[in-house]
Amino acid sequence: MSGPSVIAAARRLVVKVGSTLVTNEGRGLDRDAISKWAKQITQLNQGGKQVLLVSSGAIAEGMKRFGWTRRPTQMHALQAAAAVGQMGLAQAYETSFRALGKRTAQVLLTHADLADRARYLNARSTLLTLLDLDVVAVINENDTVVTDEIKFGDNDTLGALVANLVEADALVILTDQRGLFSADPRRDPSATLIETAQAGDPALEAIAGGSGSAIARGGMITKVLAAKRAARSGAHTVIASGREPDVLVRLAAGERIGTELAAATAVLTARKQWLADHLQLKGRVIIDAGAARALRDEGKSLLPIGVVEVAGEFSRGDVIACVAPDGREIARGLVNYSSSETRQIARRPSSDIESVLGYFDEPELIHRNNLVVI
């Protein structure tokens, strides 16, 4: 690789630390490691960089305290483990940073915080204010109150969402591997480290397939997808070993460590970034090839005449997916009509809306200003 690490030029960073690192592979909180990361983040702050920390480990620490060796599958058991483990996790970070003269804040997020536009903006304002006050925000998912499913998928995804939320310059994912390899180095000794690539390259997803350990939720695939998501707001991603000595300080000094996945996509506007960051959609519409082409290539709005089928139940103002004939989601946006109304006006020209529904609101099912191509 040539040139300095992207972290060198980054002013605002999101650092995500995985469960395996935080809990020493499930044996309990690794306070020595936590102390080292706190010291590195403090050094980055002193060098003029703003850092938000996304830390896994609450469920894993709770499992340790309960004496469980395997991640439970029952929701209430997971929530209990998170509730117990979060106490120790927050205390460990607070103790380490306080010893360095740094203030910390615990921020727990749920999907609902980011799915609702007002709450999304409130979360953003809170995090930006903490940065301005020189407080290190330690962010995790609020696993104790999630009822549909624990997680955004994993904290790699949460790290990417936070990077988008605060418009960070870079996302650093610290893991127990040196980076992304051409094959699983634990199974294939000939695997080589991929030093640099473009975030969102489909080939990376094929290489990174597979899941995590009994302690961690994600695997390398979640990190590759997180980099793809972070790139939507222009954030570069570095995947590196959290066990590498002074890894954050060295990256900030320009050293190339691990795998660097560069953002090459155009940065989305704040409103469209919010749309793109929805993980749970209310429904979807299957559209014809002409409508798909109009959305993807021509920047057009979605009209009712282009809708072939409606799936799910949604209301006006909900975020829904637009699915091409081949089954791929190509866009999502704020819908102007409910699912029942959309079924009635599907395949019809906009001029028929009033005669079919008895009223006319908008000629578009989704206006292009409220739509983002995925």
Domain final residue, candidates 255, 272, 289: 272
For residues 287 and 309, give the distance between their C-alpha atoms in angstroms, rounded to a whole number. 7
Q: How many domains does the chain have?
A: 2
The region of weakest confidence among 68-82, 128-142, 222-236 is 68-82
Angle at 176 between CA 171 and CA 179, to 5 degrees: 55
Which structural domain range is residue 71 located in? Answer: 6-272
The region of weakest confidence among 91-105, 120-134, 141-155 is 141-155
Tell me, yes or no, whether 1 lies in a domain: no
Token output for 185: 């180095």
Token output for 69: 């060796």
- Amino acid 18 reads G
Do 102 and 120 lie in a common domain?
yes
pLDDT digit string, tens, across residues 75-110? 889 889 989 999 999 999 999 999 999 999 999 998
pLDDT digit string, tens, across residues 25-84? 878 899 999 999 999 999 999 999 999 999 988 888 899 899 998 888 888 898 899 899
- Amino acid 129 reads T
Average pLDDT over residues 306-325: 95
Tell me, yes or no, whether 172 lies in a domain: yes
Q: Is the pLDDT reported for residue 306 higher than 50?
A: yes
For residues 173 and 76, give the distance between their C-alpha atoms in angstroms, rounded to a whole number. 28
Q: Where are the beta strands (DSSP E) in the chain?
A: 12-17, 50-55, 103-109, 135-141, 170-175, 196-198, 236-241, 259-262, 283-287, 307-312, 319-323, 329-334, 371-373
Strand partners, 14: 52, 171
Domain final residue, candidates 205, 240, 272: 272
Residue 150 binned pLDDT confidence (cut-offs 50, 70, 90): very low
Q: What is the pLDDT, as a whole number, of residue 298?
A: 95
Tell me, yes or no, whether 255 lies in a domain: yes
User: What's the half-sphere exposure (Cβ side, CA atoms, 13 Å) at 358?
Assistant: 1
Tell me, yes or no, whether 44 lies in a domain: yes
Do 362 and 238 lie in a common domain?
no
Q: What is the pLDDT, as a whole number, of residue 348?
A: 97
Do 113 and 217 lie in a common domain?
yes
- Would strands 283-287 and 307-312 be described as parallel, antiparallel, or unpaired? antiparallel
Rounded to an integer, what is the distance from CA 282 to the centroid of its chain?
19
Q: Phi and psi of 191, rounded to 5°? A: -60, 140
C-beta of residue 152 within 8 angstroms of C-beta of residue 279: yes
For residues 235 and 227, give the distance between their C-alpha atoms in angstroms, rounded to a whole number. 8
User: What's the half-sphere exposure (Cβ side, CA atoms, 13 Å) at 347?
Assistant: 6
Residue 279 CB partners (closer than 8 Å, separation 6+): 111, 114, 115, 152, 153, 157
